[in-house]
Each structure stands twice: as structure tokens, then as C-alpha cells.
Amino acid sequence: MVSQLFIIGGFIFAIMGGVHALLSVIDVFRPTQFAPMDDSVRLAMKSTGVRFSTGRANVWDAWLGFNISHGLGMFLFGAAAVWLGRNLEHVEVARAVLAIPVVIGLAYFLLSVRFWFYAPAVGSAIATACFVAAWWSY
């Protein structure tokens, strides 16, 4: 059951991350999902540089890059949790290591509650609950 819980939680994060990355890539060509409702804001983002860069990056491109990399990171985190679940019986893992997905999942949950919207909050809550139950049962 521990393995299945890691697999379920990992799949949830991998799906959320993959969808996020895919929608962000679509926005590179046709701004829709992560674009501001008021297109004049996106145009202002495109015409405004980022102070940290050497003037090459504009805010819109940085926004897209951050969203794509965020989605890929969530996907990789989810894939690692799935791998862990599939290989748990074949590898020796300290209980403390199994707490890592719990901590990362909780961080994603708190970020989604504070900065995003309900769908990622619900998804990360369910996935993190799976990780907590797996860790507790190990």
C-alpha cells in the first residue's frame, strides 16, 4: 500500500506539472492560459525589461520561462515519487528520505493556497495526503 500511495501522489504531481508546462509552451505561440485577462498588461510585460537581466529578457518571456520550468520541476518531482513507489521494495530507503516528498508536497500546497488557485491546491493536498499516509505507514 505504501508503494501505491507514492505512485498515486506522484502521478498527481506529474500530471499537474506536465499540463502546466504544456499550457505554458502553448502560451509562447498563442497567449491564452497564463496570459493576463487584459491583453494590454501582457503587451506592457513584453515591452518591460527585467532589471536582473542584461536587458535581453522582457517580463513576458521571463514569465513564460518561469512557468515552463515550474511545470517541468513539478513533473520531475512527480516522476521521482512514482519511481520511488515502483522501486520501494527493491531499494533500502531511510524513513527520513520518505519525508522529502511530504515536505515538498506541503510546500506546493502552501504556495498554491497563497499564490495560485483552487485546482493546484486540491491536487497538491490530495497528493501530499498520499505521501503522508505512505510515510506514516512505512
Tens digit of pLDDT for each residue in 42-85? 999 999 888 876 767 899 999 999 999 999 999 999 999 999 99
Total number of domains in the chain: 1
Residue with C-alpha cell 517580463?
Answer: 59
Residue 116 Cα to chain centre, angstroms = 11
Whole-number Cα distances in Å, 82 to 18, 66, 127? 14, 24, 11
The structure's pTM equals 0.87
For residue 59, what are the domain limits? 2-137
Tens digit of pLDDT for each residue in 26-45? 999 999 999 999 999 999 99
